Amino acid sequence: MAVYDNIWQKRWFIPVWVLQWGISLWYLVTNILNLYVLDRNRREGHRLARDAQFAGWCVYFILVSLLTVFANAAECYLFARRALSPPLVLSLGAARFVFWLVCLARAASFGSSAAAAYSAILPILTLLTVLVQLGLGARFTYKWRNGTLALHQAAAGASKGKNPRHLEGDI
């Protein structure tokens, strides 16, 4: 497994992961509760199609939330092992961007009510955090493909003019 030393900084990813986990867990809990309430209510004939559509969106939000939680857990694990590659950050960020953009479109479809504004805040915040990940992934993928990423893999404490792989002294 390739090691990517010193290209990622904790201050870039930890706020993004915390916000995405919090929002994903919020969506997970609220949509599970929505499905529970929907199942407990008596269904009437004229509401059956609307209830089925609502249940479908709840399942979609649950799946997107789980995808985000597991993708962030994988990124944290790889970050801790210094194996988080730039193309992986870029591809996971792109997938999350598309899924959360659909969530934002669903929130925008509620109209111009106060509930629509409140329901659009969380997908917008999640999309902003995903855009940070996309930017970082694109930046370092570009350097990785051009071969200039090796300059950023120098070990901590190595000064200019010295071999970054040799830390005990001059070569």
Burial group, residue 90, by CB count within 10 angstroms (0-12, 13-18, 19+): buried
pTM: 0.69
Give me the DSSP letters along 52-68: HHHHHHHHHHHHHHHHH
Sign of CA dihedral 39, 43, 48, 54: negative
pLDDT tens, residue by residue, 96-147? 888 888 888 887 776 666 666 777 788 888 888 888 887 877 777 776 666 6
Q: Which amino acid is at 69?
A: V
Domain boundaries, the chain: 10-150
Closest residue by Cα to residue 41 from 51, 31, 56: 51
| Average pLDDT for 139-163 | 56
pLDDT tens, residue by residue, 58-67? 888 899 999 9
